[in-house]
């Protein structure tokens, strides 16, 4: 495992962090604690020393799980990160209430890296007015938190002013080879680094969209490389190639993926990709931009939908329609997965959307979700849709 320093405090953090937003789950949607605990502890045993969670992850169950997973001496081996749910703050006292509850949920007396969660410009203005600077100062002074930071999901214009608004130790931004000009982007990465902030990266694989379904045209480009790497390794190596980056968070929930990520993190030095390799990544990026229809990362902040639409899955299938080589098969998979056939559950189709707009306010990617859902309906439901649903349910023996 390679390590990089936080400039302001000298902490040496593993370049690979364990993100606890997408833990393995059971059929009922609850965290598979036995499997997830083993995954977290194995990663720590192999050098990971940064574990990230948040108040809302897994419907509020991620923090309590992490507290249990870090028992038996594992808490002392890691830098623990969690986040203040800024959108729930109505008064200054709420900040202490949430932090104290998080300390209890996480079974610890301090948070090593504490973030103000999911900031955009207006939300920052609101918590700043309520006294978040005073809260952070006092929480650092009394030892409940060691380092103060923020995670960012807003427009680039707001990023620099938030960086400048407080004496932050670090920040967390979405960054991958498709997001150089999205949200904080490369300009934000470089600005934060110039101010001495440690930089934590989220969504390095865009919610798995860069690895789960790799179109043949993209595979052909990767195959041009002299050094052969998997799509996940290319994406991670591209981020770690930036010396400004401190930690890359991976929402690891599969043992094979964890092993691969750990292996890559043993050798991903900054500035280690050749110019030819960087141009290859640029070629892949351009190809993806031509193929993908929606920039959803699967973060699930839009969920649950009051009408029962599984928004992230609808968008995943919509992108897959343009990424796979067999669109008819993908239309069938949409009918099966959203029709409840695969999981033997209720239907979650895009056509169930009532255009209430509540999801739009929650989306960190600022996607016009109702409008895109209309496109999903037009392209994935359409003629013969009911027949595909019936076939899927029959295949998976759902009555």
Phi, then psi, of 386 in degrees rounded to 5: -60, -35
Q: Are 134 and 168 part of one and the same domain? A: yes
Same-domain status, 157 and 84: yes
Same domain, yes or no: 362 and 270: no
DSSP conformation class of 305: P
Looking at the fold, whether 252 and 356 belong to one and the same domain comes out as: no
Distances (CA, A) of 363 to 32, 358, 399: 27, 9, 35
- Joined tokens for residue 176: 């991958």
pLDDT at 319: 86
Under 8 Å CB-to-CB from 398, ≥6 apart: which residues?
340, 341, 344
As a whole number of angstroms, the distance between CA 102 and CA 80 comes to 12
Give the contacts of 365 (CB within 8 A, at least 6 positions apart): 153, 182, 295, 296, 297
**How many separate domains does the chain show?**
2
Do 160 and 232 reside in the same domain of the chain?
Answer: yes
Q: Are 162 and 124 in contact (CB under 8 A)?
A: yes
Same-domain check for residues 157 and 228: yes
Q: Structure tokens of 307? A: 């009408």
Whole-number pLDDT of residue 397: 57
Q: Which residue has the tokens 């890691």?
A: 78
pLDDT for position 338? 87
> 350-359, pLDDT tens digit by residue?
999 999 999 9
**Per the domain annotation, does 262 fall within a domain?**
yes
State the sign of the Cα–Cα–Cα–Cα dihedral 101, 5, 13, 194: positive
**Residue partners of 66: CB distance under 8 A and separation at least 6:** 20, 40, 51, 53, 80, 106
Helix axes 275-291, 231-240, angle to 10 degrees: 120
Token pair belonging to 27: 């059929």
Sign of CA dihedral 246, 176, 164, 82: negative
Cα distance between residue 222 and residue 233, in whole Å: 11
Structure tokens belonging to residue 270: 């900054």
Quick one: pLDDT at residue 342? 53
Is 298 a domain residue? Answer: no
d(CA 74, CA 67): 10
Residues forming a β-bridge with 149: 115, 170
Same domain, 82 and 186: yes
Q: Please report the pLDDT score of residue 49 as a whole number.
A: 98
Same domain, 160 and 24: yes
- Domain membership of residue 345 as a residue range: 311-397
Let me know if residue 304 belongs to a domain: no
Shared domain for 133 and 214, answered yes or no, is yes
User: Are 30 and 176 contained in the same domain?
Assistant: yes
3-state per-residue secondary structure call for 131-147 = CHHHHHHHHHHCCCEEE
pLDDT tens for each residue of 86-131: 989 999 999 999 999 999 999 999 999 999 998 988 899 999 999 9
Same structural domain, 221 and 342: no
Tokens of 111: 């948070």
What CATH number has the domain bearing residue 231?
Answer: 3.20.20.100
Give 25's DSSP letter: B
**For position 399, what pLDDT does the model report?**
34
Is the CB of residue 198 less than 8 Å from the CB of residue 50? no
Residue with tokens 């610890």: 108
Low-confidence ranges of the chain (pLDDT < 70): 341-345, 395-399
* pLDDT given for residue 395 in this prediction: 66
> What is d(CA 211, CA 234) in angstroms, rounded to the nearest whole number?
10
Nearest CA among 186, 265, 269 for reference residue 232: 265
pLDDT value at residue 398: 43
Roughly how many angstroms between the first and final C-alpha of the chain, as a whole number? Answer: 50
Q: Which residues, including other chains, have CB under 8 Å from residue 159's CB and lie 6 or more apart?
A: 152, 173, 183, 184, 188, 191, 192
Residues 139, 250: Cα–Cα separation, whole Å: 28
364 located within any domain? yes
Residue 211 and residue 145 share a domain: yes
């Amino acid at each position: 495992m390679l390590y990089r320093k936080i400039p302001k405090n000298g902490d040496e953090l593993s370049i690979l962090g364990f993100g606890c937003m997408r833990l393995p789950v059971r059929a009922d949607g609850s965290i598979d604690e036995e499997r997830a605990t083993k995954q977290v502890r194995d990663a720590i045993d192999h050098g990971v020393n940064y574990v990230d969670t948040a108040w809302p992850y897994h419907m509020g169950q991620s923090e309590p799980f992490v507290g249990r997973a870090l028992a038996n001496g594992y808490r002392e081996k890691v830098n623990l990160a969690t986040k203040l749910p800024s959108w729930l703050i109505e008064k200054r006292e709420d900040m202490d209430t949430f932090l104290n509850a998080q300390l209890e949920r996480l079974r610890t007396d301090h948070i090593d890296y504490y973030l103000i969660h999911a900031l955009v410009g207006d939300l920052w203005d609101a918590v700043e007015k309520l006294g978040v600077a005073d809260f952070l100062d006092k929480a650092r002074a009394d030892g409940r938190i060691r380092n103060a930071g923020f995670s960012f999901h807003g427009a680039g214009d707001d990023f620099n002013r938030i960086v400048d608004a407080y004496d932050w130790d670090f920040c967390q931004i979405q960054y991958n080879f498709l997001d150089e000009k999205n949200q904080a982007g490369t300009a934000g990465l470089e600005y934060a680094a110039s101010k001495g902030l440690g930089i934590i990266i989220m969504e390095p694989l865009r919610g798995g969209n860069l690895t789960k379904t790799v179109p043949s045209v993209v595979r052909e480009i990767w195959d041009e490389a002299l050094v052969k790497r998997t799509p996940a390794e290319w994406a991670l190596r591209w981020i770690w190639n930036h010396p400004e980056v401190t930690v890359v968070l991976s929402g690891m929930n599969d043992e094979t993926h964890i092993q691969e990520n750990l292996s890559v993190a043993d050798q991903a030095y900054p500035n280690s990709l050749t110019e030819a390799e960087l141009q290859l990544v640029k070629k892949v990026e351009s190809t993806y931009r031509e193929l993908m229809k929606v920039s959803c990362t699967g973060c699930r902040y839009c969920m649950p939908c009051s009408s029962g639409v599984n928004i992230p899955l609808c968008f995943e299938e919509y992108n897959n329609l343009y990424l796979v080589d067999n669109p008819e098969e993908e239309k069938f998979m949409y009918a099966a997965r959203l029709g409840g056939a695969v999981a033997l559950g209720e239907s979650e189709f895009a056509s169930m959307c009532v255009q209430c707009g509540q999801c739009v306010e929650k989306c960190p990617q600022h996607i016009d979700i109702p409008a895109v859902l209309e496109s999903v309906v037009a392209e994935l439901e359409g003629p013969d849709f009911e027949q595909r649903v019936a076939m899927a349910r029959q295949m998976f023996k759902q009555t």
